[in-house]
Amino acid sequence: MAIYTRARAEKKVHDRLEDRGFEVYLPLKKSKRQWSDRVKVVAVPVISSYVFVCCTEKERFQVLQDDAVVNFVFYRGKPAVIRDEDMNRMWKFLADYSHMDLKVSNFKAGQKVTVQAGPLQGRDGEVMYTKDSRVGIRLESLGLQISAEVEGVMLGEH
């Protein structure tokens, strides 16, 4: 399941839930941050304010006890349950394509698309935005929006 956290609390939530015995996933990427006296490479969440946790319905309430957990992500009125297959595809996607460029062509916000190649092949979604080499796609099966800079992931109109 996906949980929504307070801003910039993802790592703390991940660590606390892991310490309590939950299986937790927080996808991170390396990013350069500029301070007044130095530049530092830090690990930042790929999806801001989201942490993924494997738990039962009964354990959901234990997860909600963490002060930095806002709520579970809901889809169609129920907590969004992300299938193992979709999580595996996301892991593969993030591992294989985290440092490549996307070729974005003539897609417009609101347009329905299907990923035609790459680890998310066959997934239906909606283009949320395009900007330079970035595209934001909401994948309904995952119940969230993914923004990527990826070469070789092809989209086709519905």
pLDDT tens digit string along 77-90?
A: 889 888 888 888 77
Give how many domains the chain has, as a whole number: 2
Q: What is the residue range of 142's domain? A: 99-157
User: Which has more confidence, 26 or 93?
Assistant: 26
- Spatial separation of the C-alpha atoms in residues 115 and 125, rounded to whole Å: 8
Torsion sign over Cα 117, 121, 125, 128: negative
Tell me which H or E stretch contains 10: helix 10-19
Query: What pLDDT is recorded for position 152?
Result: 42
Boundary of a domain, candidates 49, 81, 113: 81
Residues 126 and 68 in one domain: no
| Helix (H) or strand (E) segment spanning residue 62 | helix 57-63
Please report the pLDDT score of residue 71 as a whole number.
Answer: 96
Which H helix or E strand runs over 89?
Answer: helix 84-97
Asked if 26 and 54 count as a contact pair (C-beta separation under 8 A), the reply is no
Instruction: Check pLDDT > 60 for residue 149.
Output: no
Assigned domain for 114 exists: yes
Q: Is residue 142 part of a domain?
A: yes
- Choose between 137 and 26: higher pLDDT: 26
Q: Assign residue 53 the CATH number of its domain.
A: 3.30.70.940
Indicate whether 86 belongs to any domain. Answer: no
Q: Are 106 and 150 in a shared domain?
A: yes
Tell me the C-alpha distance between 18 and 44, whole Å.
Answer: 18
Considering the domain boundaries, does residue 134 fall inside one? yes
For 99-144, what is each residue's pLDDT tens digit? 544 444 566 788 888 776 666 777 788 887 777 666 777 776 656 5
Q: Is pLDDT of 1 > 90?
A: yes
Residues 6, 74, single domain; the answer is yes
* pLDDT value at 150 more than 80: no
Band of the pLDDT at 11, cuts 50, 70, 90?
very high
For residues 66 and 61, give the distance between their C-alpha atoms in angstroms, rounded to a whole number. 9
- Phi/psi zone of residue 140: left (φ > 0), alpha (ψ -120 to 50 degrees), beta? alpha
pLDDT over threshold 70, residue 57: yes
Q: In what order do the strands lie in the sheet with 144-148?
A: 144-148, 134-139, 124-131, 112-115, 155-157
